[in-house]
A = this chain, B = another copy of it.
Amino acid sequence: MTEIEVKIPASQAAGYKVIIGQNFLDAVWPMIEAGFAGRNPFIVTDENLVSAGHPQRLTGKRSIPCFIIRPAGEISKNISTVTAIIEAMEKAGLGRDSVIIALGGGTVGDIAGFAAAIFKRGVPVIQMPTTTVAQADSAIGGKTGVDSSVSKNAFGAFWQPEAVYIDVAVLKTLDDVQYRAGLVESVKHALIADADYFDFLEKNLDDILARKPDILEKMACFNCKIKAAVVQADPTEKNQRRVLNYGHTIGHAVESASGYKLLHGQAIAIGIIGAGLIEIEMGFSQPGRLERIKKIFEKLAVPTALPGYLAEADLMEIIKYDKKAVKRWPKFVLIDKIGHPHCPEGQWAVDVQKELVEKILKKLK
């Protein structure tokens, strides 16, 4: 037998810019033309964005090939939509010298980002998030994917965007329930990374709910700095990036058990309260901490307790099959205090006994 080694050299360090502003959608196109000269653009958006007039504002009088996801939402987050996008690109004469612009919420970003990752072995993607959850979280960091008939994000890739443009003014047209649920990811960011940001959210919540652009711009800056710091420390989620999963272990189970009747952010709010209860039981909380979080969630009108129709036993079963579970039980991300993850010996997710989680789920009712 002979052994031959194929060496794969290290990739170079890279990076991308997140541009945050207000009412600059019509000024973005020249920036894209300057930054991606020689690449043929293709827009992926959804029918809600078209109704709100955002793609039209972005392209102006230019004629740019475009794929409109219909219906909007999670229901279209599957491989058929990706196939349709790629075949539409081919029919528009686009090849490996193209660039995809993802204009929309988390679903559009996930679908379009994944299409970019696999079209002709990869073309650049520009993320232009238009919802609270996408602007705070999903547009940055390169996680892309679509669902199979069996599970969420069964198909996916890590594919970093090459630019992110965040116009907080587009949030004005967002449905109120979605708007509020998306803010839960901002609370999560504050909890895992920045006590000052938590104070900011507490203090400015009325202005945030009134969608005042200056406050939204400041909030976007906090979110992006936090997300960027975590992503650059661990781009492909080997360890530290797991901190972004705060509240998500119970939260994902709740979301799934609700049959996706609960929005992601609504389920994560319950998950964050669950994590808070675990922290109290495990002895690393401070008096009044969980109450502060609850108060924000109540103002956001997102749930802080399990809906009556969810059974603890079902939730336990789903948690066992969490995608990060090893031997049928996942580790949990917890915080020592607001802005500070619990990270013993460099581990960003820790053991929590099954019995304790069962007890917490009862308390969450």
Task: Name A residues whose Cβ lies closer than 8 Å to a Cβ of B.
Answer: 1-21, 24, 79, 83, 86-87, 90-91, 95-97, 114, 117-122, 140-141, 143, 145, 148-151, 153-158, 160, 164, 217, 220-221, 224-225, 227-228, 231-232, 235-236, 323, 326
Contact = CB atoms under 8 A, between A and B. Distances in A.
Nearest to A144: B121
Nearest to A1: B21
A80 to B, nearest CB: 9
Given A3-B17, A118-B155, 15 more contacts: A2-B217, A4-B18, A4-B225, A6-B232, A7-B15, A7-B232, A8-B13, A9-B232, A87-B154, A95-B323, A119-B154, A121-B143, A121-B145, A121-B236, A122-B158
A302 B122 CA distance: 34
A16 B6 CA distance: 5
Contacts of A97: 326
Given A87-B148, A119-B155, A13 B15 contact: no
Contacts of A13: 7-10
A2 to B, nearest CB: 5
Nearest to A6: B228
A122 B157 contact: yes
State the main secondary structure of chain A at its contact with B.
mixed
Nearest to A143: B121
B121 A157 contact: yes
A323 B6 contact: no
9 closest Cβ pairs, A-B complex:
A1-B21, A90-B150, A121-B156, A6-B228, A11-B11, A10-B13, A4-B18, A7-B15, A7-B232
A151 B9 contact: no
Given A8-B14, A8-B15, A10-B13, A154 B3 contact: no
Given A87-B148, A90-B154, A120-B323, A17 B5 contact: yes
Quickly give the copy total for this chain: 2
Contacts of A221: 2, 4
A180 B341 CA distance: 61
Contacts of A118: 114, 117-118, 155-157
Contacts of A224: 4, 6
Given A1-B21, A2-B20, A2-B221, A232 B160 contact: no
Nearest to A97: B326
B6 A18 contact: yes
A334 to B, nearest CB: 22
Considering residues A120, A153, A217, A231, which has the most beta carbons from chain B within 10 angstroms of its beta carbon? Answer: A120
A165 to B, nearest CB: 10
B10 A10 contact: yes
A97 B323 CA distance: 10
A69 B257 CA distance: 34
Contact of A86 (B14, B15, B24, B148): B148
Nearest to A2: B20
B121 A153 contact: yes
Contact of A120 (B11, B96, B154): B154
